[in-house]
Homo-oligomer: A and B are copies of this chain.
Amino acid sequence: MEKKYFVEKGAMVKFRNGADFCIGTGRMGLALQREYYEQLKLVQDEIGFSYIRGHGLFCDDMAIYQYRKGWKDGKVTVEYNFTYLDRVMDMYQELHIRPFLELGFMPKMMASGEQSVFYWKGNVTPPKDYSAWIALVQATLRHLIKRYGRKEVLTWPIEVWNEPNLTSFWKDADMKEYFKLYKVTAQAVKAVDEGLKVGGPAICGVDDENWLRSFLKFVKSNNAPLDFVTRHHYTSYMPQWDGHYGYINLHEPEYAFSQLERSREIVDSFPEFEGMDIHITEFNTSYIPQCPIHDTNLNAAYVAHMLSRLGDKHASYSYWTFGDVFEENGVAFTPFSGGFGLVANGLIKKPTYWTFAFFKKLKGDCVHRSEEAVVVRKPGDEYRGLVWNADGRNTGEELDFTIALPVKKGVPYCLLVKTVDEECCNPLKVWHDLGEPANPSKKELELIKESAKPLLTTTRFEEGTGLVSVSLHLKKNALQYFELIPAAITGDTGYSYERTLQQVIEDPIEE
């Protein structure tokens, strides 16, 4: 496939880059783990997300909600233990990431039923006593404000529950009960501090018509607080399962984007809510954590396309998840078990990691956006771009991408290209070729990680004609990030690169 573009001087194209706003995570209890910390640190050091969102704040392994029986009177007292919560939040602060708080699931001692979700058994039943729930929510928020300061905590959005429109996440997907939960919770939040921001309904991305519209009607008629709307977005068809794994096909991109349109329309159809922020608090290709697609270069290229568009109508979109410390369907048997993460266990950067690392750098004035590329201009007539070739049909078709960019006249330029494709940055393949070791040895792990880096190449444009034509050749499922930067030779006295290359081996001579 061949694509050619020409950018006019001063061109400006609409593009909102929110790729580094929020990222998903395994349940909060896992944030105590060392591997979790190291994966998140890896991600933050290079990409640096602003927010992190996941489940499990109130689950029992966080140990916040406690019953204590008196030694003498046997009287039961409720206590809040913030030891682990503080440990997690301290770590987030250390890594310069803020929580996008999801309130849930239900502490067992407070739950009205036994139903649970996931391998780790998050209780998904309503509270048996809403006042206990309110007390828990408020005690937690007050504690956070005391420890981290009001100013800081006011920047932490608060979402009520997760995917209540699915029976697996909320008993019977009982809409009325959720609305009740939402209302009392949102009011409880605002009672702690009017400045706190609260939202919902965190629905899985179906049922907009029913759930989202009803939710907004409820909020409106009950005058419940609502600062933002949340939903999720996955773009794959149903998996076919074999053993531990589910294999999927991906939605055709336009079809995928179209599925999001409806939410925006519904929200905007309420004058009260028109233009209100919609946060996609989860998105990914497949919605199952054992889907091998997540580890592939195709995933990286496909997600690049998503990131080029999702900011158009959504305040944020949180890739689910930063890493593979994750136990929703149990503990992974291998490092490439199709987990959601940008990083595989063992601190291996997957191809999609680079999608985010590259988007992170696409800040500036957008001069080009197409189905396979985004290019921005930086001050000083520099450019940065990302090109992708999501070979979704597995045809092996390669992409020849050319874009002519207006630059400073008379100035030589350097084109810097970082390539991530199935040949040069494909840790999954190396792991496979090594025999798919369940727990790679230290040496194997180092090899896999060594293979998980983009290939960097450079070219010079000496002419200085005021136009540089950047030509990139992308193999299937490749990403190519480029920078075009002014690079006049400062040349040290007597140094000649050409002459350097002309030093050769010579047969014996008389000296």
Contact = CB atoms under 8 A, between A and B. Distances in A.
Interface of A: 32-37, 63, 66, 68, 71, 77, 79, 81-84, 86-87, 90-91, 147, 237-238, 241-245, 247-253, 255, 292-293, 295-296, 298, 302, 330-334, 337, 345, 390, 392-394, 412, 414, 416, 423-424, 428-430, 432-439, 441-442, 447, 450-451, 453-460, 485, 487-497, 499-509, 511
Nearest to A450: B456
Nearest to A496: B242
Given A34-B32, A296-B501, A456-B430, A412 B435 contact: yes
A79 B505 contact: no
B502 A394 contact: yes
Nearest to A87: B35
A450 to B, nearest CB: 5
Contact of A244 (B248, B460, B494): B494
Contact of A504 (B238, B250, B490): B250
14 contacts: A82-B438, A237-B509, A243-B493, A243-B494, A292-B499, A394-B504, A412-B435, A423-B457, A428-B500, A432-B460, A432-B489, A436-B490, A450-B453, A453-B453
A83 B436 contact: no
A79 B147 CA distance: 44
B495 A244 contact: yes
Contacts of A63: 330-331
Contacts of A298: 503-504
Nearest to A295: B500
A252 B508 contact: yes
A438 B491 CA distance: 8
A200 to B, nearest CB: 26
The 8 closest A-B pairs by CB, nearest first: A243-B494, A392-B505, A243-B493, A433-B458, A435-B487, A292-B500, A242-B494, A249-B506
A185 B502 CA distance: 45
B34 A505 contact: no
Nearest to A33: B32
Q: For A255, A458, A499, which residue has the most chain B Cβ atoms within 10 angstroms?
A: A458
Contact of A247 (B79, B238, B499): B499
Contacts of A505: 249-253, 302, 390, 392-393
A394 B295 CA distance: 42
Contact of A83 (B34, B439, B509, B511): B439
Contacts of A34: 32-34, 36-37, 91
Given A32-B35, A430-B456, A494-B242, A439 B147 contact: yes
Nearest to A30: B32
B492 A71 contact: no
Contact of A392 (B66, B435, B442, B504): B504
B489 A435 contact: yes
B508 A250 contact: no
Contacts of A345: 83
B436 A495 contact: yes
A130 B488 CA distance: 33
A393 B502 CA distance: 9
Contacts of A495: 243-245, 292, 334, 337, 436
Given A82-B438, A292-B495, 8 more contacts: A242-B499, A244-B493, A253-B505, A255-B508, A293-B503, A392-B505, A447-B456, A453-B453
B492 A333 contact: yes
Contacts of A79: 333, 493
Contacts of A429: 458
B436 A414 contact: no
B501 A439 contact: no
Given A34-B33, A37-B34, A505-B390, A460 B433 contact: yes
Contact of A71 (B241, B332, B333): B241
B503 A81 contact: no
A433 B450 contact: no
Nearest to A297: B501
Q: For A91, A390, A428, A491, which residue has the most chain B Cβ atoms within 10 angstroms?
A: A491
A493 B393 contact: no
A98 B235 CA distance: 47
Contacts of A439: 82-83, 86-87, 147
Contacts of A35: 32, 87
Contacts of A251: 505-506, 508
Given A433-B459, A503-B292, A68 B511 contact: no
Nearest to A493: B243
B437 A83 contact: no
